[in-house]
């Protein structure tokens, strides 16, 4: 058996937490079309200028909802996030009148191939 | 004090090298120079030629001996026995006899060439004057009168001859620097050309003018002027062929000394092999460190130890398979686990440490010695007349304090035979006279210098032989290898052509230099 990379798309629903005057989601993003894609440690393709999750705070709403570090955010509430600047991405995630954000993320995971079961 | 330091050595100066100009390819054109200088004191290098066309350059002597072709080896091999202090070794005898016979043979050749060229030169110079004067002498009354035009032509002939004389003197009247085996091709060609040219002019003159007693004097004078013009053009041709053509560098030669692998690179133009050899030798004396046989003994003893102790016993029968035996020995020696590399490493590290220590002691001793000397200014010279010393005495006064350290250092670096006490004292007084610092005084002893720096007796390299597969008058080409041998070592010269360089241009607008920042921000949401 051997390891292969598989990409999963997942829908994650995060309920924002109110901290004082702000609504926080509990993770950090990196990337954007105005950023340097070669410094992104999570992307497989170093020309990928998409938005990636670089940190997830423990016990925060994102972790509770199942968001993981290294996820690439494809959509936020229907808005495309693959071709946005870093600031545009931040704005779309931190809209004041939204309490729930629905993300479409792509995650890469290492899977053991199901080779033996197919051969047997 | 060791005996080496006590021996007197004559410091024969090499100052006559400084009189020559620094052109890269001075030739020893001595043919036009009538007063011959004595060659007793000159630094001529005689280069004799060996061109064995059938043999390969690095002859396979070993294989030939094994095939049994040399049947006379018993009679022709000489056994070199150890020599006592008072006898001359075989090498010295060979050197002396070679010196004698070479100097006699080549002198005759040089004298012959010199006289031929001198006679030809004189003839050529007097020819236009003869052309003009002969009609005046022989049939003066019949000549048409020729007024201002002829006088103008006389002036032009006179000045052109003067220019030709100065040009020939500048180009050809030079001190001979070297003896070369074969004739310079271009020079010979030029001499032949000049001879044919002048001969044909005389032929025409003799037939058309002398025999028929031409009366048109202006025509005759113009004929003489045309001769001088053509001679000036031949002089121009000589400059281009002999001097200018070799100026542009076309080849890079690598010169490697066979004994210790020291190598240098030089740039040469279109030269013949013998002239290239001359250039290499001239540069050898100033670029390569002096050949020191004392430094080579270490590697030889290591090599001897490596192969020693291996004996071959033939158990299969009386067959004498020489090459097989030697191959077996080589294989066994390679497989033998000896620790000679270890020895070499520690020995070299130890030697370096010792040299550094002695060097430090020497530097300190010399610095201390130099502090004892103070130069007297002009005013002070009147005040203390009793203690004044000239540089030689000052040198002798401070020499004992540094002598021991210097001697030990020279012994450790195996240079002691190159410096006698007298030469050290002379150098010390020279440094004191010229206000040199201790470091400047020591520069001569800390590192081995080029061969020119030392006494001529210590050179080990005065007679050179050019060994070449090609003819030595042929020009340099890519890939030619020739060897310059002297008695103790040889210089292997490898010629490579300078590659053809393709240079293209690219224009960059100064306003086109623009930059952006590479960002990678992280925002928490």
Domain with A104 in it: 2-119
How far is CA B272 from its chain centroid? 15
Ranges B63-77, B125-139, B226-240, B311-325, most confident = B226-240
Average pLDDT, integer, range B395-402: 91
Yes or no, beta carbons of B525 and A34 under 8 Å apart: no
Q: What is the pLDDT of residue B307?
A: 66
Q: Percent of chain B scored above 70 by pLDDT?
A: 75
Yes or no, beta carbons of A90 and B523 under 8 Å apart: yes
Arithmetic mean of pLDDT over chain A: 86
Q: Is the dihedral of CA B457, B458, B459, B462 positive or negative?
A: positive
In chain A, which residues have their Cβ closer than 8 Å to the Cβ of B515? none
Average pLDDT, integer, range A32-48: 89
Name the minimum distance, in Å, from the CA of A40 to any CA of chain B: 8
Average pLDDT, integer, range A93-120: 76
Looking at the predicted structure, is the pLDDT value of residue B174 above 80?
no
Q: For residue A104, count CB atoms less than 10 angstroms from its CB and return exposed for 0-12, middle for 13-18, buried for 19 or more.
A: middle
Q: Is B5 helix (H, G, I), strand (E, B) or coil?
A: helix
Kindly state whether B520 is in contact with chain A, defined as any CB-CB distance less than 8 angstroms: yes
Yes or no, beta carbons of B520 and A40 under 8 Å apart: yes
Q: Is B406 helix (H, G, I), strand (E, B) or coil?
A: helix
Least confident of A20-24, B1-5, B288-292: B1-5
At B437-479, the pLDDT tens digits run 999 999 999 988 898 888 888 787 788 999 999 888 888 999 9
- Find out whether B1 and B407 touch, Cβ atoms under 8 Å: yes
Q: What is the dihedral of CA B175, B177, B181, B184, to 10 degrees?
A: -50
Of A27, A39, A90, the CB nearest to B520: A39
Cα gap B164→B186, rounded to integer Å? 19
Kindly report the backbone phi and psi dihedral angles of residue B473, in degrees, each rounded to the nearest multiple of 5, phi listed first.
-95, -5
Q: Provide the CATH number for the domain around residue A14.
A: 2.30.42.10
Q: Is B516 helix (H, G, I), strand (E, B) or coil?
A: coil
Looking at the predicted structure, is the pLDDT value of residue B423 above 70?
yes
Cα gap B107→B110, rounded to integer Å? 5
Average pLDDT, integer, range B24-44: 40
Q: What is the pLDDT of residue A118?
A: 58
Yes or no, beta carbons of B520 and A30 under 8 Å apart: yes
Question: Which of these, B116, B115, B107, B98, lies nearest to B42 by C-alpha position?
Answer: B107
CA B519 to each of CA A28, A32, A45: distance values in angstroms, whole numbers, following the listed order = 16, 10, 18
How far is CA B379 from its chain centroid? 48
Looking at the predicted structure, is the pLDDT value of residue B431 above 90?
yes
pTM of the model: 0.62
Chain B segment 6-65 residues within 8 A of A by beta carbon are: none
ipTM above 0.95, yes or no: no
State the distance between the two ends of chain B, measured CA to CA, in whole angstroms: 89
**DSSP string spanning B128-143?**
HHHHHHHHHHHSGGGS
Q: Going by C-beta distance under 8 Å and a sequence separation of 6 or more, which residues neighbour residue B319? A: none
Diameter of chain B measured on Cα atoms = 125
Q: What is the pLDDT of residue B343?
A: 83
Q: What is the pLDDT of residue B257?
A: 94
Looking at the predicted structure, is the pLDDT value of residue A107 above 80?
yes
Yes or no, beta carbons of B519 and A36 under 8 Å apart: yes
Chain B nearest-CA residue for A91: B525
Average pLDDT, integer, range B228-246: 90
Q: Is B274 helix (H, G, I), strand (E, B) or coil?
A: helix
Mutate to test the interface with B, among A29, A53, A84 (most CBs of B within 10 A): A29
Q: Going by C-beta distance under 8 Å and a sequence separation of 6 or more, which residues neighbour residue B447? A: B289
* Number of A–B residue contacts, CB under 8 Å: 37
Cα gap A83→A37, rounded to integer Å? 13
Domain-wise residue ranges, chain B? 98-246, 251-292+460-497
In chain A, which residues have their Cβ closer than 8 Å to the Cβ of B516? none
Chain B nearest-CA residue for A28: B524
Kindly state whether B522 is in contact with chain A, defined as any CB-CB distance less than 8 angstroms: yes
Ranges B25-39, B95-109, B131-145, B458-472, most confident = B458-472
SS3 content of chain A, % helix, strand, coil (to 5): 20, 40, 40
Is the pLDDT higher at B314 or at B391? B391
Tokens 């030595």 belong to residue:
B472
Q: Is B50 helix (H, G, I), strand (E, B) or coil?
A: strand
Of A28, A34, A39, the CB nearest to B523: A28
Arithmetic mean of pLDDT over chain B: 78
Tokens of B338: 């000896």
Strand arrangement of the beta sheet that strand B464-468 belongs to: B178-179, B45-50, B464-468, B481-485, B490-497, B251-257, B263-268
In chain A, which residues have their Cβ closer than 8 Å to the Cβ of B522? 28-30, 54-55
Looking at the predicted structure, is the pLDDT value of residue B59 above 50?
no
- Residue B142: pLDDT band (50, 70, 90) is confident
- Find out whether B163 and B171 touch, Cβ atoms under 8 Å: no
Of A24, A35, A55, the CB nearest to B521: A35
Yes or no, beta carbons of B523 and A29 under 8 Å apart: yes
Tokens of B382: 């009147």
Tokens of B22: 């620094």
The count of other CB atoms within 10 Å of the CB of residue A94 is: 17
Average pLDDT, integer, range B355-372: 93
CA A86 to each of CA A4, A80, A99, B266, B469: distance values in angstroms, whole numbers, following the listed order = 31, 13, 21, 62, 75
Cα gap B366→B406, rounded to integer Å? 9
Kindly state whether A55 is in contact with chain B, defined as any CB-CB distance less than 8 angstroms: yes
The count of other CB atoms within 10 Å of the CB of residue B447 is: 10
Ranges A6-15, B164-173, B215-224, B362-371, most confident = B362-371
Cα gap B196→B208, rounded to integer Å? 18
Q: Going by C-beta distance under 8 Å and a sequence separation of 6 or more, which residues neighbour residue B24? A: B246, B247, B268, B269, B279
- Residue B103: pLDDT band (50, 70, 90) is low
The count of other CB atoms within 10 Å of the CB of residue A92 is: 20
Cα gap A109→B369, rounded to integer Å? 80
In chain A, which residues have their Cβ closer than 8 Å to the Cβ of B524? 24, 27-28, 55, 57
Average pLDDT, integer, range B375-399: 81
Total domains in chain A come to: 1
Average pLDDT, integer, range B174-189: 76
Question: Which of these, B485, B467, B465, lies nearest to B55 by C-alpha position?
Answer: B467
Looking at the predicted structure, is the pLDDT value of residue B355 above 60?
yes
Cα gap B268→B280, rounded to integer Å? 9
**Strands A72-76, A51-56: pairing kind:** antiparallel
- Find out whether A84 and A33 touch, Cβ atoms under 8 Å: yes
- Residue A22: pLDDT band (50, 70, 90) is confident
Cα gap B472→B243, rounded to integer Å? 19
């Amino acid at each position: 058996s051997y390891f292969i990379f598989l990409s999963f798309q997942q829908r994650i629903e995060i309920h924002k937490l109110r901290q004082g005057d702000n609504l926080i989601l509990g993770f950090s993003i990196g990337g954007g079309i105005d950023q340097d894609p070669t410094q992104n440690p999570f992307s497989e393709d170093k020309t990928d200028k998409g938005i990636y999750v670089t940190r997830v705070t423990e016990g925060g709403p994102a972790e509770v909802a199942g968001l993981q570090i290294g996820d690439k955010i494809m959509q936020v509430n229907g808005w495309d996030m693959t071709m946005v600047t870093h600031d545009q991405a931040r704005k779309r995630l931190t809209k004041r009148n939204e309490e729930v954000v629905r993300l479409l993320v792509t995650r890469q995971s290492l899977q053991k191939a199901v080779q033996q079961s197919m051969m047997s | 004090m060791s005996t080496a330091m006590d021996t007197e050595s004559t410091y024969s100066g090499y100052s006559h090298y400084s009189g020559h100009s620094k052109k890269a390819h001075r030739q020893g054109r001595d043919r036009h120079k009538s007063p011959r200088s004595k060659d007793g004191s000159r630094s001529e290098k005689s280069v004799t030629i060996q061109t064995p066309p059938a043999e390969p350059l690095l002859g396979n002597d070993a294989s030939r001996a094994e095939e049994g072709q040399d049947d006379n080896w018993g009679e022709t091999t000489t056994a070199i026995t150890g020599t006592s202090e008072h006898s001359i070794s075989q090498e010295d005898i060979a050197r002396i006899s070679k010196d004698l016979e070479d100097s006699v043979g080549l002198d005759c050749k040089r004298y012959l060439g010199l006289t031929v060229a001198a006679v030809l030169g004189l003839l050529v110079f007097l020819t236009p004057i003869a052309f003009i004067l002969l009609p005046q002498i022989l049939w003066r009354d019949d000549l048409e009168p020729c007024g201002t035009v002829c006088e103008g032509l006389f002036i032009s002939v006179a000045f052109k001859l003067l220019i030709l004389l100065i040009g020939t003197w500048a180009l050809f009247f030079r001190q001979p620097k070297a003896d070369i085996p074969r004739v310079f091709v271009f020079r010979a060609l030029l001499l032949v050309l000049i001879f044919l040219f002048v001969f044909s002019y005389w032929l025409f003159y003799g037939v058309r003018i002398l025999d028929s007693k031409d009366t048109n004097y202006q025509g005759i004078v113009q004929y003489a002027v045309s001769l001088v013009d053509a001679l000036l053009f031949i002089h121009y041709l000589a400059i281009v062929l002999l001097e200018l053509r070799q100026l542009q560098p076309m080849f890079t030669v690598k010169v490697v000394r066979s004994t210790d692998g020291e190598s240098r690179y030089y740039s040469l133009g279109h030269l013949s092999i013998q002239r290239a050899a001359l250039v290499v030798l001239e540069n050898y004396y100033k670029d390569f460190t002096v050949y020191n046989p004392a430094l080579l003994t270490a590697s030889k003893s290591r090599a001897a130890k490596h192969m020693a102790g291996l004996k071959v016993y033939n158990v299969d029968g009386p067959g004498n398979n020489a090459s097989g035996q030697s191959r077996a020995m080589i294989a066994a020696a390679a497989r033998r686990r000896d620790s000679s590399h270890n020895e070499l490493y520690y020995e070299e590290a130890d030697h370096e440490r010792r040299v550094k220590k002695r060097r430090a002691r020497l530097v300190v001793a010399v610095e201390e010695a130099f502090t004892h000397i103070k130069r007297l200014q002009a005013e002070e010279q009147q005040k203390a007349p009793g203690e004044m010393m000239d540089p030689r005495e000052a040198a002798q006064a401070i020499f004992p304090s540094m002598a021991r350290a210097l001697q030990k250092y020279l012994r450790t670096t195996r240079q002691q035979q190159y410096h006698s006490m007298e030469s050290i004292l002379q150098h010390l007084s020279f440094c004191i006279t010229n206000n040199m610092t201790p470091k400047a005084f020591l520069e001569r002893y800390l590192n081995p210098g080029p061969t020119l720096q030392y006494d001529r007796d210590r050179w080990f390299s005065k007679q050179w032989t050019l060994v070449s597969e090609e003819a030595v008058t042929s020009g340099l080409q890519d890939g030619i290898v020739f060897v310059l041998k002297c008695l103790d070592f040889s210089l292997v010269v490898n010629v490579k052509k300078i590659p053809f360089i393709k240079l293209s241009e690219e224009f960059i607008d100064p306003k086109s230099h623009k930059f952006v920042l590479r960002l990678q921000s992280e925002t928490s949401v």
